[in-house]
Structure 1
Amino acid sequence: MPKVETFDKELVLKKATNVFNDKGFNATSMQDLVDATALNRSSIYNSFGNKLDLFLECLKSYQGVYTIKISETLHKGQNPLHAIELLFKFYINEIVEDKDNMGCLITNCTSEMANQDKSIDKFLNDNQRSFIALLEELVRKGQKESIINLNKTANEYAWYLFTSILGFRTIGIMISDKKELKSIAKTITQTLI
């Protein structure tokens, strides 16, 4: 008879996510995860598999939370351009409220782990494709409404926004001054007008 989990899986994933985000995947030891989650090694292995499997679970959980937050943010937009501006405001607030300067788990994973493991690559590529598709749809709608210029295709602007957001999230680890971040975001979004 299989063992029944007697712990809060979401809480364990949140605690493990904090460790991975603080130390990075490579510097995180199983002992770090044991200490953070209060689970013994065998419980971690039995419930999640190895460290990489646990990391992927953390990435997926993190992605799920942020997919909801981003969707809620975009739905508040009065139009596609306003939605994109709200997205940057959302990221600014995330950066300013990140008192430990840990940054975004997915962005950090991209800089640390891209091209190191096929399962990580697949996760990052799938995440990238879905986010670019979302941005492309916003830009396309904005172009149809004549509030985003036609200087570039919707796909080109989606890639521009995606790479800008990655850079914005990365620099946010070092810069947390709201005024500076707003200025950077404004420069990025003005390209679309």
Structure 2
Amino acid sequence: MPKVETFDKELVLKKATYVFHNKGFNATSMQDLVDATALNRSSIYNSFGSKLDLFLECLKSYENIYTIKICETLHKADNSLHAIELLFEFYINEIINDKDGKGCLVVNCASEMANQEQSLTNFLCSNQDSFIELLEGLVLKGQEESTINLKRTSKEYAFYLLSSIRGLRTTGILISNKKDLQTIAKTIIQTLI
């Protein structure tokens, strides 16, 4: 008879995500995860597989949380250009509220592990493709609404915005002055008008 999980999986993922987010994948030990989750090693291995499998689950959970937050943010927009402005405002607020300067778990993962493990590379590529699709759709709609210029294709602008957002997230690890971050975002958005 298989063992039944007797713990709150979401809570364990939240605690493990916190450790990975603070230390990075490579610096996180199994003992760190045992201490944070209050599960023993065998429970972690039996429930999640390897440390890498647990990290992937944490990344997916983190991605799901941010997908919901981004959708909620975009629903407040009057038009596509406004949606992009709100997206930058959302990320600036995330940076300001990140008192520990941890940055984005996904961006951190790309910096630390992108080409070291195929399963992580696959996750990161899928995450990026989804975000590019979202941005491209916003830009295309903005171009149709005449709120975004036609100097570049929607795909070119989507890649530009992706790079800009990731750059802003990385910059925000060291710069947390809201006015400076807003100036960066405004400069980026001016390119679209």
TM-score for both structures, normalised by structure 2:
0.99
Q: Which residue does the alignment assign to 2:74?
A: 74
Q: Which residue does the alignment assign to 1:18?
A: 18
- The residue identity in structure 1 corresponding to 2:15 is K
- The residue identity in structure 1 corresponding to 2:173 is I
2: distance between equivalents of 1:15 and 1:185? Answer: 32
Q: Which residue does the alignment assign to 1:120?
A: 120
Deviations 1:133-155 (A, max 9, x none): 10000000000010000010000
1: distance between equivalents of 2:185 and 2:7? Answer: 41
- The residue identity in structure 1 corresponding to 2:82 is H
User: What percent of counterpart residues are identical?
Assistant: 75
Q: Which residue does the alignment assign to 2:155?
A: 155
- The residue identity in structure 1 corresponding to 2:65 is V
Q: Which residue does the alignment assign to 1:146?
A: 146
Match runs of 1:52-131 below 5 Å: 52-131=52-131
Deviations 1:137-176 (A, max 9, x none): 0000000010000010000000000010111111111111
Match runs of 1:38-57 below 5 Å: 38-57=38-57
1: distance between equivalents of 2:189 and 2:7? Answer: 44
2: distance between equivalents of 1:11 and 1:132? Answer: 30
Deviations 1:12-33 (A, max 9, x none): 1011001101100001000000
> How many correspondences in the alignment?
193
Deviations 1:54-108 (A, max 9, x none): 0000000000000010011111110000000000100011110111111110000
2:175 is equivalent to residue 170 of structure 1 = no
Aligned CA-pair RMSD: 0.5
Unaligned runs of 5+ in 1: none
1: distance between equivalents of 2:53 and 2:163? Answer: 27
- The residue identity in structure 1 corresponding to 2:81 is L
The runs of at least 4 consecutive aligned structure 1 residues that moved more than 3 Å come to: none
Displacement of 1:120: 0.3
TM-score for both structures, normalised by structure 1:
0.99
Unaligned runs of 5+ in 2: none
1: distance between equivalents of 2:68 and 2:123? Answer: 18
